[in-house]
Amino acid sequence: MSSETLSSKLFTKAKQYIPGGVNSPVRAFRNVGGEPFFVRRAKGCRIWDVDGRDMIDYVGTWGPAILGHAPQCVIDAVHNAAKDGVSFGIPNIYEVEMAQLICEWVPSVEKVRMVNSGTEATMSCVRLARGFTGRDRIVKFDGCYHGHVDALLVAAGSGALTHGKPDSAGIPKSYAELTTVLPYNDVAALEECFAKQGHEIAAIIVESYPANAGLILPQPGYLQKLREITLKHGALLIFDEVMTGFRVAKGGVQEVEKIMPDLTAMGKVIGGGLPVGAFGGRAEIMDMLAPDGPVYQAGTLSGNPLAMAAGLAQLREMEKQHGWSHLEKLGKMMEDAVLEVLKKTGRNYQWYRTGSMFCLFFTETPVHNLTDAKTSDLAAFRKFFHYCLEHGVYFAPSQFETGFISMAHGPHDLAKTAEVVQEALLAL
């Protein structure tokens, strides 16, 4: 009997047909080493791999599974919708209901358009901001990820305050040069940038709470500063709430921080696990979109009835269960347990949390930007990750990601997790 696992056999086969054996790079475990496992099924807060191992899941399909995996309300909604058709490419009831819900729940959104991924949502926000302002320059922040948009896969260039440089092969230098990349939480750099380039800046795009370099929270007043400086210079403020939207609060970060961005990119939770994205904002900006306006944007499967039905079912269930206050209770429970473990094991690692989103940086340096995050001990994180995985707890396979607690996690799951975390830290 081959000792080779079924996951390993599947990965060998996958690499024959799919680049890197995965449909998205982070799934390949390159940040933690080893091979990825293959999932057989997922339910609630648990996933089972093809070799029969089961584990408590804190990736939650990278955010969408806010109710946990395969919630019955979503299964039923998709089943019922599918009986009437799985795709139309024709205006349908579901997309109107979803649009109305988003406009009612998200404070700054007066009109919204559905797309099929977070990348499409942020890409469309950038094009719309350029079309509305007639300007070309975009400002983003080091460590923020907005999907694989050419204009946003840009690293801080030399002389960061002037031009970015491509952060991926295949992106023309001319594209990257229109993007300025600034350090996050750095007001002086922001003011210097706008003093020099304010007249040509179409928009700032920012993860409302950056969660793609681990979880990096804004310093007090920083988001307000972004709002003020964009208003002063006639630029737009785009909140990328693909991850935080409908997760940190019913109305996202903009509800929590009481800040009104001009445009918001959304995704993940609003699809109930099916492919989805959305972007919305002030009506005078959104009305620039075709067919009414000159900014073109389109999508075959945008407003797909199954994705809309799944998302509506999930969002309404969250509202019915007062999910956001419950997730805060679960998050606090996890935080208390982890901080206790850090004390017991003498590890002065940096823990950050907002609601059900959390990150433990393996560094003793407080983390306020990407440079701080990069002081993390990646070898220690790798050992920690694999110890937890082998003991039934699945965290994101990278130090530079954020964990998610779902409505399906219970106190016993969190207690078990804290035990494994303690053992893993002691084993470092």
**CA-only gyration radius of the chain, Å:** 21
Looking at beta carbons only, is 256 or 342 nearer to ligand KE4? 256
Query: Least separation, in Å, of the C-beta of 175 and ligand KE4?
Result: 18
Task: Give the C-alpha separation, 309 to 328, whole Å.
Answer: 26
Task: Give the C-alpha separation, 8 to 27, whole Å.
Answer: 14
Q: Based on the shown chain and the rule CB under 6 A, indicate whether residue 243 belongs to the binding site for ligand KE4.
A: yes
Q: Based on the shown chain and the rule CB under 6 A, indicate whether residue 26 belongs to the binding site for ligand KE4.
A: yes
| 188 residue type, one letter | A
Q: Based on the shown chain and the rule CB under 6 A, indicate whether residue 105 belongs to the binding site for ligand KE4.
A: no
Residue 53 — φ and ψ, nearest 5°? -70, 140
In the residue annotation, 268 being an active-site residue is answered as yes
Q: Based on the shown chain and the rule CB under 6 A, indicate whether residue 39 belongs to the binding site for ligand KE4.
A: no
Residue in 49, 240, 257, 317 binding ligand KE4, rule: CB under 6 A: 240
Looking at beta carbons only, is 189 or 307 nearer to ligand KE4? 307
Q: Which stretch binds ligand KE4 (CB under 6 A): 95-103, 116-124, 256-264, 289-297?
A: 116-124
Q: Based on the shown chain and the rule CB under 6 A, indicate whether residue 57 belongs to the binding site for ligand KE4.
A: no
Looking at beta carbons only, is 194 or 395 nearer to ligand KE4? 395
Question: Cis peptide leading into 291, omega within 30 of 0?
Answer: yes
β-pairing, 236-240 vs 350-354, is unpaired
Query: Least separation, in Å, of the C-beta of 136 and ligand KE4?
Result: 21
Q: Which stretch binds ligand KE4 (CB under 6 A): 113-121, 160-168, 183-191, 361-369?
A: 113-121
The residues in 184-213 that bind ligand KE4, with binding defined as CB under 6 A, are 207, 212
Scanning the structure block, which residue is given the tokens 């089972």?
48
Q: State the catalytic residue, choosing from 142, 240, 372, 413.
A: 240
Looking at beta carbons only, is 24 or 174 nearer to ligand KE4? 24
Query: Least separation, in Å, of the C-beta of 22 and ligand KE4?
Result: 9
Q: Based on the shown chain and the rule CB under 6 A, indicate whether residue 145 belongs to the binding site for ligand KE4.
A: yes
Judged by CB under 6 A, the number of residues near ligand KE4 is 18
> How far, in Å, are 14, 48, 106, 350, 413 from residue 38 at the CA level?
10, 9, 36, 31, 22
Q: State the catalytic residue, choosing from 49, 58, 142, 145.
A: 145
Q: Based on the shown chain and the rule CB under 6 A, indicate whether residue 62 belongs to the binding site for ligand KE4.
A: yes
Looking at beta carbons only, is 164 or 198 nearer to ligand KE4? 164
Q: Based on the shown chain and the rule CB under 6 A, indicate whether residue 242 belongs to the binding site for ligand KE4.
A: yes
Q: Where are the beta strands (DSSP E) in 282-425?
A: 350-354, 357-361, 393-394, 403-404
Residue in 147, 164, 323, 403 binding ligand KE4, rule: CB under 6 A: 147
β-pairing, 154-155 vs 165-166, is antiparallel
Q: Specify the DSSP element, H or E, that contains 125.
A: helix 118-133
Query: Least separation, in Å, of the C-beta of 336 and ligand KE4?
Result: 26
Coil, strand, or helix at residue 105? helix
Residue in 92, 108, 122, 356 binding ligand KE4, rule: CB under 6 A: 122
Residue in 117, 230, 356, 376 binding ligand KE4, rule: CB under 6 A: 117
Contact 230, 222 (CB under 8 A): no
Q: Which stretch binds ligand KE4 (CB under 6 A): 123-131, 143-151, 194-202, 378-386?
A: 143-151
Beta bridge partners of 43: 46
Q: Based on the shown chain and the rule CB under 6 A, indicate whether residue 119 belongs to the binding site for ligand KE4.
A: yes
Task: Give the C-alpha separation, 146 to 169, whole Å.
Answer: 17
In the residue annotation, 240 being an active-site residue is answered as yes
Query: Least separation, in Å, of the C-beta of 104 and ligand KE4?
Result: 23
357-361, strands of its sheet edge to edge: 350-354, 357-361, 403-404
**Among 241, 229, 234, 247, which residue's Cα sits nearest to residue 109?**
241
Contact 182, 138 (CB under 8 A): no
**Among 143, 137, 262, 285, which residue's Cα sits nearest to residue 212?**
143
In the residue annotation, 145 being an active-site residue is answered as yes
DSSP assignment of 2-45 equals: --S-HHHHHHHHHHHHSGGGSSSGGGG-TTT-S-PPPEEEEEBT
Query: Which residues bind to ligand KE4, rule: CB under 6 A?
Result: 24, 26, 62, 117-119, 122, 145-147, 207, 212, 240, 242-243, 267, 277, 401
Annotated catalytic sites, by residue? Answer: 145, 240, 268
